[in-house]
Every structure is written in C-alpha cells, then in structure tokens.
Structure 1
Amino acid sequence: MTLIKSISGIRGTIGGKAGDGLNPLDTVKFVSAYATFIREYIKNTSNKIVVGRDARISGKMMEQVVVGTLMGMGFDVVNIGLATTPTTELAVTMEGAAGGIILTASHNPRQWNALKLLNDRGEFLNAKEGEIVLKLAESEAFEFADIDHIGKVVENDYTDKHIEAVLNLKLVDVEAIKAANFEVAIDCVNSVGGLVIPKLLKALGVTKINELYTTPDGEFPHNPEPLPEHLGEIAALMKKTTSDVGFVVDPDVDRLAIVCENGEMFGEEYTLVAVADYILKHTPGNTVSNLSSSRALRDVTEKYGCTYKASAVGEVNVTTLMKETNAVIGGEGNGGIIYPASHYGRDALVGVALFLSHMAHQKMKVSEIRASYPSYFIAKQKVELTPSIDVDAILLAVKEKYSQYDITDIDGVKIDFPDKWVHLRKSNTEPIIRVYSEAHTMQEAEDVGGEVMKVVENLAK
C-alpha cells in the first residue's frame, strides 16, 4: 500500500492499515487539516466548501467520508458529485465558496485515489499553503463543531453550468463548428468524461459521435494516462470510421490528447501548441508552459511576435507565471490547456471547444494542422543514484560544465542548446535524476540526453 503526502495533495492506494494508504482514517485527518487551514488562513467569509469526484470505484466511499468530515468541522458542503476537475474548480468560484476538494487520482490506476485541495479562487494550493496543511495534519490539532454548529450539505450538478461557460467563451465559435459537420471519436476511459464530453460535443453542434468507454463506472479499460501506447483502440476506431478527429481524456478530464483522422497521434505536447496557435491568431499575447514542455510553443508564440516564458514544473507554477506575465494562454505539455478567459486550471472541455473552433476556421485535416507546426521529439530517461549521493551538488556541477549555453535553474537544471534542450530534475520520492530532452528527431533527443546522463554518472562516481 502507498500513501504520498505532498504539497500538491494527498494520494494513495485504497486498502490496508491506517497510514499505509488513503483510507478513511487518513482521509479524515487530512480533510480536517485542510478545513482548519481554510478557517485560519483563507480570508473568505463563506462557510461553504465544494466537493466533486471522478468515477473511481472508491469515489463514493471517499465522498461520504470527506463530506461528513467537513460537516463535522462546521462547514457547509456543496456536493457536486460526479464532476470533472475543472468543473469543481469553476464551481468554487460560482458558489463563492471558501475552497474545494477534488477526489481524483488523475491518470493513476483504479486502486488509487487522492485529495486535491483548492483555495477560494478554485485554484490548487501553492507550496507554502500545502506545507501548512501537512503540518496541521501531523499535529492533529483539530477542533470539531458542537451539535449546534455542524455543517449542512446540499447537492448541485455543475456540469451544465460548466458547458454553458465554455460555449460563452468569445473564441469558441459554435456556429462554425456546427457548419463544419464534424464527426468525432472519443475515449473517456469509463470516468466522468463519459458524462461530460458527449454532452459538450452535442452542445457544440456535433451530431456524429463515435464513443469508446463512456460508462462512468471507474473500470478503466486500459491504462488511463492518455499516452500513445495506451490509445490503440481509438486509433483503430479512427481508421474504421470517417471521424475527422479523436479526443481522449484522463479520468478527471483536465488533460486532452488528440488523434488525427488517419489514426495517428497528434502528440500530447501539441494539444497546447495548436490551441495556442488559434488563441494567438485572434488575441496576441504572452504564453507560458513548464520547463519540460516542447519548444514548439515558443516557436509558435514568436511567430506572432509575442513572448514565451517557462515556469517550474507543476500546474500552480504555470498559473503563477501566467498571472505575472498576463499570458493569454498556457498550460503543460501533457495535454493540459489553461485558458485565463475561462479560469486558471487545466480544462479539457475548453481544449475540445477551442480545437474544434481552430479546425473549423482552418478548414484543414487534423494531420495537416499537425504538420504545420515545428516537429520536435521528447525523450524521457533517468539516472539512478545511491541515496548517499548529493544530487544538488551534481546538478550544480552540470550547470557549471554547460555554462556557455542558456541555463535555467528554477527547477533543476535546463540546458538550452541552439536546436535542442535537456532538463534534469531531482525526484522528490526516490534517488534518481529525471532527464528530459528534446530535439528534431527522437534519436537526437536520446543522444543529447544520453550525453548529459554520462556527465551525471561520472560526477556520481
């Protein structure tokens, strides 16, 4: 069994002894700590907290424990039930709530679940706030409500409100999408996407939908992370049908993968690139992604005479830099679209609507749109080290060795060569250095990553 406590939330496997996984006793402790944090640190007069969940098998059990604990802490709960992560984020602001909890382990397998914690803006807690919650949980200094101050619970479905908000976005061109008469294939991995994505497509005027795995029962039919090696079925479906585009979401619908009309993968890094291309064409401005995301976003941004910036890895770091630079679009290379005109959170619904608008305007096949962007390949490798190795010292030595190149050290060390890059990051959970590299061919990416890995290995001797 596994329980991982981090500043970005609490995740773990279901079952086993208390303290060994994300079980009812552990859930009560961390939810109580979060409620205490909200009461003491969030300057919001609301007594409401929103709770939403994906369709995991453990979701209903977790929901009841979380809702009951929040009521016991004296908070009123707005339980929105089965809902995407971005839906829950939007519900916090729509309700004027003091915070929100999302029950989802994102792309992790079925035995996992997690508590993702939101502030009163419907955004993830930052590192400092996350540390406070962990310390409160460790101290267990909670004060539960007396009989006259136990919270109440109301149930409210926010799916339709989320879809309406997407349709009202200025750059979502519903009329153009309807006129294009697209045929769309989807794979929703038997989670909440199965409830939301077909409804969104119909609201956008798409009448021909070829569905895979839209039953929200939490029985994932394949690895739920939307990577090419897991998407063979929708690729085959694209070839068997006349679908113009395929959309794949993860269990909580904050990541979007796209499949071309010929069954080939668009590439998860290019979801953000394509959407940014559409946004920048109509509203020029700055863009942001993290250090491990493709250089293609920078290239497209500069094509419009705009400025690209890279943040440390982590959604909260991306959104913080987006606010600082007043970015018009940003996100992560894992298919995460963050569009400030909607909200500061990854949102696959927004991604679907904007990409279909882009398709309708371009009047090109999806494979042709993909071919219009600079072609890059990312290799992901790692160097295993002994626990006694000083990883920070090694990263500093790498930084000095490659000092003639552009170096970014806000999150590990990133070396920007003229036509490629290598990013080294220390793992927070194991004695390894993750090595991501990008170049114009996979062989080049692996070679330049391998070259830097040899330097690390030599330094570690």
Structure 2
Amino acid sequence: MSLIKSISGIRGTIGGKVDENLTPIDAVKFAAAYGSWLKGQSGKERVKVVIGRDARISGEMIQNLVQYTLIGLGIDVVNIGLSTTPTVEVAVSMEEADGGIILTASHNPKEWNALKLLNNKGEFVSDQDGKAILKIAQENDFSFAQVDNLGEIFINDAYIDIHIDEVLQLPLVTPEAIQEKKFRVVVDGVNSSGGIAIPNLLKELGVEVIKLYCEPNGQFPHNPEPLKEHLGDICKKVVEEKADFGIVVDPDVDRLAFITEDGEMFGEEYTLVACADYVLSKTKGNVVSNLSSSRALRDIAHKHGVTYTAAAVGEVNVVTEMKRTEAIIGGEGNGGIIYPELHYGRDALVGVALFLSLLAERGISVKQLRESYPAYFMSKNKIQLTEHINPDHILNEMEKKYASEQITTIDGLKIDFPESWIHLRKSNTEPIIRIYTEAKSQKEADELATRFIEEIKALCK
C-alpha cells in the first residue's frame, strides 16, 4: 500500500516498508519536512507547534516520533495528548502557535494513521503549502538544531475541557434551555477520543449520557466511518434505553451523525442541514458545503433567503469558499460542521451543542425534526482502483457521454439531472473512485449508482 500524500495529509498503514507505508522513518521524514517548512514560513527564531492525537493503537508511537523530530529542529512542542481534531485546531489559535499536527487517520480502520498538518490559524495547510512540504521531504532538505538550540516539550492535557468551555460560550448555544429538557442520549465514541469529549460536553449541558464504546483504547468495535451499515449497535441501544436520540462520532471527532429515537439514522447529510437551519434562523448569512453534499442544504438556504455555494470536496476547499462568500456556517455532508464563530474547522462538539439548542427551542423529537426537512436519499459507493485503471480516463469519458447535462468539474465530475445528481471523484485518502448519488427516493439513488457503476466497469474492460 503506497503512502497517500494529499490535501488531507500524510496517510498510510502502520508497518511494512519505508516509502510504502507509514513507518517510523516516514513519520520522522514528513515531520522534519513540515517543521522545516514552518521555520521558513515564520521567520522566527523560535517556532511553536501544537500536537494532539486520537486513540489509535499507533498514536503514542507516532506522536513521540513526530514531537522529538520537531524538537530536534529546534521547535517547541505543546503536547495536548489524547485529543480531537477540532480541539487541536482551537489550541493552535489559543496558544498563538505557528502550526499544529493532528495524528489521526480520521474514519480509516485501526491499522491506518496520518499526520494532518495545520497552519498558524489552526486550519489545514493549503494545497500549495502541502506541495512545498512534500518537496522538502522528497529532497531531504532538513537542517537540525545544535545541542544548545533544541526545542522543548510542554504538556497541556486540559484542552478538551477548554474546547468544551469555548463551545458553551457561543452565543447561539443555550445551556439552560438544554438542561431544562433533561435529554437522555446514547453516545458511540468508537473507543477513541470522542468517548471523552462528547460525554463531557453533554454532562456540562445537563444531558444524561449512556456510553457505548467510549473507552479510548483504539480498539474500534466496528468500522469507524459513521455510516448506517456500521451502526447497528447504537441504533439498537437507543431503542432499548428509550433514549431521546443517539450521537456517533468518528475517531478524531470531526464527523457527527445522529440516531432518531426509533433507532433510525437521522442522516449524516442532515447534521449540517439541521445546524444550518438553526443558525440561519438566528443570523442571516451565506452557507457552503461540498459538491458531494445533499441538495437539502441548498433548500434550507433558500428558505432563509440566503445564498448557497458548493465547493470542491475537502475541508480546506470548503473553508476557502466560506471565507470568499463570507458564509456564517458550512461544512461537508459527511457530518462535518464548520462554524466560524469558534473556528474554521469541522467540529462535532459545536455540532452537538447547536443541534441540542435547536431541539430545546423547537420542543420536538429528533424524528419529527428530520421529517420537517426536504426528503432526499443518497447512495454512497466506491470502486477500488488498481494499477490498470486510469481514473482520469474514466472521468473524461463520462464527461463526454453526459455533456448535454449540467456538468461541474472543479472536483472530479458532478452531473446534475433535474431530480437527481451523481458525483464521481478520486478519493484524497484512499485508492478508490467515490460514487455519490442523490435522488427523491432511496430506490432511485441506488439505481442511479448501479447504472453508473456498470458504465464505469464497461470502460475498464
């Protein structure tokens, strides 16, 4: 398995051969490249980097390799330990650091890990900056510090609590109203840092928490991507416990999904829809999501009389478009909420607090809330790539075939039909082509996906 070097970071499986997997040598090389780039960018005599990790089994090993490489470059490290992606992003700003590294492979299985790289704003580095870092790594262009100029490590394990405090102070979050409702909620933390952060946030909001897989030991009890087919246990648990709803996060807590009181998926696409609906009901402003996200967000934006814009897939692309359009909320349909009032990063803690505030205000169940939104159904599929399949050729051929339809090519190929759409794109994180479809019924979405999968397979012969 080759290392994946992309806008989403340096990602690979643990073990194996150098340059083919995420080995200790690769972790050191890319940490050195990032640190060297950061020193060149900052122009400071002393540079500071925040590092945090999710609960993956390999996390502590990779963190030690990375942080000791950085101090070898003469960089100071703020080690916030077991943490979440949004917590590290918040910490970079609060520490006035020059950058940050999150050690997580997000929704990938336990054998994966990654270095996600942040700039001095606590945001993911740009594509241009990412390429500059990769060039330094490729050329081994490192200069390490002399013994009297080594960096230092400062440990601060309070940042999850600090992050929670920042969420509670957001003007649109209503702790007292939430407490009055006495919600009862099941939390699936997939045995990672979400098992700490989400229950602690809920307790501060007066919510009774029923924990499921909240031991941060890195032994994921199911596929960590928060999709319906992986969440049978929590769906069952919500009904058994007669809970008001369920909350699911991925290992690094930047994706968020809800389960209705009857054990059904609220729909991770509708996480952003609900939070945007609440925010737009209080403050008028534009919204942004990516090309693979539901049309429901566009409908909500139109309901509130504001502008919706679609960006290329990837948090950095959505953030760039949000800044350009001065959007007040945005994110991705995979359950990622970006609320600039706190920071420009996907944040499940912010999403939970906004969602609870919405529920408390409207006084309806999660199922009733879901039924109040436009009904769209999505099918998410993928085709595994091999060295014999050229994804660019496939996308070009499909673009030619459907040239008479509404076509968007800023990120792969999106074809908009009157009542449905399909988005084909190479993944940033895995050797696959993702195939997302949406229609007015699940049957139509599935059939559209099946049709295109067969057409793609025909091109591969």
Deviations 1:337-378 (A, max 9, x none): 111111110000001100000100110000000011111111
- For residues 116 and 292 of structure 1, the distance between their equivalents in structure 2, rounded to whole angstroms, comes to 22
- Confirm or deny: 8 A CA contact 2:88 2:100 kept in the other structure: yes
Superposed displacement of residue 452, structure 1: 4.4
Q: Which residue of 2 is the match for residue 323 of structure 1?
A: 323
**Higher mean C-alpha deviation, range 125-134 or range 450-459:** 450-459
Letter in 1 for 2:198: I
Letter in 2 for 1:215: E
- CA separation of 1:385/1:327 partners in 2, compared to 1, >3 Å: closer, same or farther? same
- Confirm or deny: 8 A CA contact 2:116 2:124 kept in the other structure: yes
- For residues 329 and 458 of structure 1, the distance between their equivalents in structure 2, rounded to whole angstroms, comes to 41
- For residues 431 and 175 of structure 1, the distance between their equivalents in structure 2, rounded to whole angstroms, comes to 47
The within-5 A match list for 1:235-254 is: 235-254=235-254
Q: Which residue of 1 is the match for residue 265 of structure 2?
A: 265
- For residues 221 and 140 of structure 2, the distance between their equivalents in structure 1, rounded to whole angstroms, comes to 39
- For residues 435 and 28 of structure 1, the distance between their equivalents in structure 2, rounded to whole angstroms, comes to 35
Q: Which residue of 1 is the match for residue 411 of structure 2?
A: 411
Q: Which residue of 2 is the match for residue 70 of structure 1?
A: 70
**Higher mean C-alpha deviation, range 350-359 or range 445-454:** 445-454
The within-5 A match list for 1:388-399 is: 391-392=391-392, 394-399=394-399
Q: Which residue of 2 is the match for residue 129 of structure 1?
A: 129
Superposed displacement of residue 451, structure 1: 4.2
- Confirm or deny: 8 A CA contact 1:253 1:347 kept in the other structure: yes
Task: Check if 1:151 corresponds to 2:164.
Answer: no
**Higher mean C-alpha deviation, range 113-122 or range 19-28:** 19-28
Superposed displacement of residue 192, structure 1: 0.7
- For residues 59 and 241 of structure 1, the distance between their equivalents in structure 2, rounded to whole angstroms, comes to 33
- CA separation of 1:187/1:311 partners in 2, compared to 1, >3 Å: closer, same or farther? same
The within-5 A match list for 1:270-285 is: 270-285=270-285
Deviations 1:144-189 (A, max 9, x none): 0001100011111211110111001111011110111111110111
- Confirm or deny: 8 A CA contact 1:385 1:460 kept in the other structure: no
- For residues 275 and 385 of structure 2, the distance between their equivalents in structure 1, rounded to whole angstroms, comes to 39
- Confirm or deny: 8 A CA contact 1:187 1:247 kept in the other structure: yes
- Confirm or deny: 8 A CA contact 1:45 1:98 kept in the other structure: no
Superposed displacement of residue 75, structure 1: 0.4
Q: What SS class does the counterpart of residue 425 from structure 1 fall into?
A: strand
- CA separation of 1:140/1:385 partners in 2, compared to 1, >3 Å: closer, same or farther? closer
Q: What SS class does the counterpart of residue 436 from structure 2 fall into?
A: strand
- CA separation of 1:152/1:177 partners in 2, compared to 1, >3 Å: closer, same or farther? same
Q: Which residue of 1 is the match for residue 182 of structure 2?
A: 181
- For residues 439 and 77 of structure 1, the distance between their equivalents in structure 2, rounded to whole angstroms, comes to 48
- For residues 377 and 396 of structure 2, the distance between their equivalents in structure 1, rounded to whole angstroms, comes to 26
- Confirm or deny: 8 A CA contact 2:7 2:314 kept in the other structure: no
- For residues 380 and 155 of structure 2, the distance between their equivalents in structure 1, rounded to whole angstroms, comes to 43
- For residues 240 and 147 of structure 2, the distance between their equivalents in structure 1, rounded to whole angstroms, comes to 61
- Confirm or deny: 8 A CA contact 2:99 2:120 kept in the other structure: yes
- Confirm or deny: 8 A CA contact 1:44 1:120 kept in the other structure: no
Q: What SS class does the counterpart of residue 446 from structure 2 fall into?
A: helix
- Confirm or deny: 8 A CA contact 2:11 2:429 kept in the other structure: no
Q: Which residue of 2 is the match for residue 190 of structure 1?
A: 191
- For residues 79 and 393 of structure 1, the distance between their equivalents in structure 2, rounded to whole angstroms, comes to 45
- For residues 241 and 384 of structure 1, the distance between their equivalents in structure 2, rounded to whole angstroms, comes to 39
Q: Which residue of 2 is the match for residue 295 of structure 1?
A: 295
Task: Check if 1:374 corresponds to 2:374.
Answer: yes
Q: Which residue of 2 is the match for residue 22 of structure 1?
A: 22
- CA separation of 1:51/1:89 partners in 2, compared to 1, >3 Å: closer, same or farther? same
Letter in 1 for 2:141: A
- For residues 283 and 298 of structure 1, the distance between their equivalents in structure 2, rounded to whole angstroms, comes to 17
Letter in 2 for 1:268: E
Q: Which residue of 2 is the match for residue 167 of structure 1?
A: 168
- For residues 10 and 418 of structure 1, the distance between their equivalents in structure 2, rounded to whole angstroms, comes to 39
Superposed displacement of residue 43, structure 1: 6.0
- CA separation of 1:385/1:268 partners in 2, compared to 1, >3 Å: closer, same or farther? closer
Superposed displacement of residue 454, structure 1: 5.5
- For residues 221 and 203 of structure 1, the distance between their equivalents in structure 2, rounded to whole angstroms, comes to 27
Letter in 2 for 1:291: L
Superposed displacement of residue 122, structure 1: 0.5
Superposed displacement of residue 213, structure 1: 1.4
Q: What SS class does the counterpart of residue 149 from structure 2 fall into?
A: coil
- CA separation of 1:110/1:309 partners in 2, compared to 1, >3 Å: closer, same or farther? same
Matched pairs, number = 460
Deviations 1:230-260 (A, max 9, x none): 1111111111112111101111111111010
Superposed displacement of residue 33, structure 1: 0.3
**Higher mean C-alpha deviation, range 249-258 or range 57-66:** 57-66
Q: Where do 5+ consecutive residues of structure 2 fail to align?
A: none
- Confirm or deny: 8 A CA contact 1:7 1:129 kept in the other structure: no
Q: What SS class does the counterpart of residue 10 from structure 1 fall into?
A: strand
Letter in 1 for 2:168: L
- Confirm or deny: 8 A CA contact 1:42 1:119 kept in the other structure: no
Q: What SS class does the counterpart of residue 57 from structure 1 fall into?
A: coil
Q: What SS class does the counterpart of residue 144 from structure 1 fall into?
A: coil
Please, what TM-score do these two structures have when normalized by structure 2?
A: 0.94
Superposed displacement of residue 442, structure 1: 1.8
Superposed displacement of residue 312, structure 1: 0.7
Superposed displacement of residue 428, structure 1: 6.4
Superposed displacement of residue 285, structure 1: 1.4
- Confirm or deny: 8 A CA contact 2:285 2:327 kept in the other structure: yes
- For residues 178 and 433 of structure 1, the distance between their equivalents in structure 2, rounded to whole angstroms, comes to 44
- For residues 148 and 434 of structure 1, the distance between their equivalents in structure 2, rounded to whole angstroms, comes to 50
- For residues 386 and 191 of structure 2, the distance between their equivalents in structure 1, rounded to whole angstroms, comes to 40
Q: Which residue of 2 is the match for residue 3 of structure 1?
A: 3
- Confirm or deny: 8 A CA contact 1:57 1:217 kept in the other structure: yes
- For residues 219 and 432 of structure 1, the distance between their equivalents in structure 2, rounded to whole angstroms, comes to 25
- For residues 329 and 86 of structure 1, the distance between their equivalents in structure 2, rounded to whole angstroms, comes to 15
The within-5 A match list for 1:86-165 is: 86-157=86-157, 158-165=159-166
Superposed displacement of residue 391, structure 1: 4.7
Q: What SS class does the counterpart of residue 367 from structure 2 fall into?
A: helix
Q: Which residue of 2 is the match for residue 59 of structure 1?
A: 59
Q: Percent identity?
A: 59
- CA separation of 1:446/1:154 partners in 2, compared to 1, >3 Å: closer, same or farther? same
Letter in 2 for 1:181: K
Q: Which residue of 1 is the match for residue 79 of structure 2?
A: 79
- Confirm or deny: 8 A CA contact 2:86 2:254 kept in the other structure: yes
Superposed displacement of residue 193, structure 1: 1.1
Superposed displacement of residue 194, structure 1: 1.5
Letter in 1 for 2:314: G
- For residues 423 and 331 of structure 1, the distance between their equivalents in structure 2, rounded to whole angstroms, comes to 17
The within-5 A match list for 1:440-459 is: 440-453=440-453, 456=456
- Confirm or deny: 8 A CA contact 2:46 2:75 kept in the other structure: no
- Confirm or deny: 8 A CA contact 1:8 1:130 kept in the other structure: no
Letter in 2 for 1:279: V
